[in-house]
Chain A
Amino acid sequence: MNFEDLQKAWQSHAAGAKVLINADVLLKEVRRNQRHFRARIFWRDVREVGLCGLMAWVFLHWAMRDRAWPLYLMVFACIAVGAFMVVDRLIQRKKQPAANDAIKACIEGSLLQVNHQIWLLRNVFWWYLLPLAMGLAIVTGVSVWHSRHVALVVAGGCVYMLLVVLLYWGIYRLNQWAVRKSLEPRQQELEALLASLK
């Protein structure tokens, strides 16, 4: 039996399965799924950017109340991190491949997005942790400088900075774990798919 015979057998059997579809429930489910997806994206953005906004507001309030200029640096750092997230998300949304793109273009688009995600998480220290850490370090340093009870403030500041370092280390490790666990395998799979089209 040659390929033409196989093709003939294939085409004569249609899909080879019987399907019962409840079109009304299907449409309901499709719409529900779309709403769910949009809501998930919206709340993710609110959570990430909203946290930066909230922190900026807290530091701004604190800075104005105490007339402490170093705290304005924290406000700036929080706004800068939040703005970076928003701009990055907007740029990436424009580059997102559509489901109806040609397969090669879709794979290339997905690969670009995965590569960007990996870049973001690998460099989380520079764009997320460092600006906030520098702001915190300056606030702590200035507090020590102006304090009458230097020893007490230094001790408290050291404990505080140690906790911050531990927290940052945890955040950094978590991001690197996410890269290894989910993004790199996906990147390799997409590269393999793309290689099979070249």
Chain B
Amino acid sequence: MTAQQQEAIFRRWLDTHLGLMLKVVRGCAKAPQDQEDLFQDVLLHIWSSIPAFRGEAKETTWIYRVAFNTALAWGRGERRRREGHEMFLKLEGPPQVQPSHVDSLAELEIVNRLYAAIRQLPKVDASLALMHLDGLSYQEMAEVLGISENYIGVKLNRIRKQLEEQLKGVTDEL
């Protein structure tokens, strides 16, 4: 694979799957500085992984794998502040929502609380929750994690109950 091809794929993935990468980052890191740091690591690993991509796995499965593996490794005390490095991205807070859009505001609050609840889960459960909320099939989740679909089902039942329980008060308020 040439450098140009690698760059083209990288730019296309950024356009198409940026939301996916950001969800993983927000689900695994809380502070904005940590999110930026982790996001940079995720992008670096995705770039490095592109030459090995043969199109046998779905792009989303591939990116989930790289992003989660990076997030899991990053959580092991390997946080690096890129002092002296050029910052290539700027994460801004959630988009401003007009107060009149009550439904959007309520949904935004739910999403923020969901992120907070996901960050409370054990790391593997958090990754499952993120993929499940994104609507991945059991088979896709099994491919990302490398475990059986049956086990995914068992774990998801528990995770769904946990999230519903944690979000119960919030949804009642809204």
A6 close to B124 (CB less than 8 A): no
Tell me if B's interface is mostly helix, strand, loop or mixed.
Answer: helix
B167 close to A23 (CB less than 8 A): no
CB neighbours (8 Å) of A100 from chain B are: 49, 52-53, 57, 62, 65-66, 69
B65 close to A19 (CB less than 8 A): no
A9 close to B111 (CB less than 8 A): yes
CB neighbours (8 Å) of A17 from chain B are: 22, 26, 91-95
CB neighbours (8 Å) of B45 from chain A are: 99
- Within the assembled complex, what's the spacing in Å between the Cα atoms of A98 and B70? 11
CB neighbours (8 Å) of A65 from chain B are: none
CB neighbours (8 Å) of B146 from chain A are: 101-105, 197
Counting chain B residues whose Cβ lies within 8 A of the other chain, the interface size class is: 35 or more
- Within the assembled complex, what's the spacing in Å between the Cα atoms of A54 and B116? 55
Q: Mark B83-111, 1 if CB is under 8 A from A, else 0.
A: 00111111111110000000000011011
Q: A87 near B: Cβ within 8 Å?
A: no
A15 close to B22 (CB less than 8 A): yes
Task: Give the contacts of A140-198 with B (CB-CB under 8 A).
Answer: 182, 185-186, 189-190, 193, 196-197
CB nearest to B35 among chain A residues? A17
Q: Mark A15-33, 1 if CB is under 8 A from B, else 0.
A: 1111111110111111011
A9 CB → nearest B CB, Å: 4
B14 close to A102 (CB less than 8 A): no
A33 close to B44 (CB less than 8 A): yes
B47 close to A30 (CB less than 8 A): yes
B114 close to A6 (CB less than 8 A): yes
Q: B55 near A: Cβ within 8 Å?
A: no
CB nearest to B64 among chain A residues? A103
- Within the assembled complex, what's the spacing in Å between the Cα atoms of A38 and B147? 33
A19 close to B85 (CB less than 8 A): no
If A16-B95, A22-B88 touch, whether A6 touches B123 (CB-CB below 8 Å) is no
Residues of A whose CB lies within 8 Å of any CB of B are 1-3, 5-7, 9-23, 25-30, 32-34, 97-107, 110, 182, 185-186, 189-190, 193, 196-197
Between A and B, 23 residue pairs with Cβ closer than 8 Å are A1-B168, A3-B164, A6-B171, A7-B133, A9-B114, A10-B110, A12-B107, A16-B26, A17-B91, A20-B92, A21-B89, A99-B69, A100-B53, A100-B62, A102-B146, A103-B144, A103-B146, A105-B146, A106-B65, A186-B77, A193-B123, A196-B124, A197-B146
Known pairs A19-B91, A29-B88 / 8 extra A-B pairs, C-beta < 8 Å:
A6-B167, A12-B107, A15-B22, A16-B115, A20-B90, A99-B70, A103-B127, A193-B124
Residues of B whose CB lies within 8 Å of any CB of A are 7, 10-11, 14, 18-19, 22-23, 26, 40, 43-45, 47-49, 52-53, 57, 62, 65-66, 68-70, 72-73, 76-77, 85-95, 107-108, 110-112, 114-115, 122-125, 127, 132-135, 143-147, 160, 163-164, 167-168, 171
**Pairs of residues from A and B, 3 with the lowest C-beta to C-beta distance, nearest first:** A102-B146, A104-B146, A1-B171
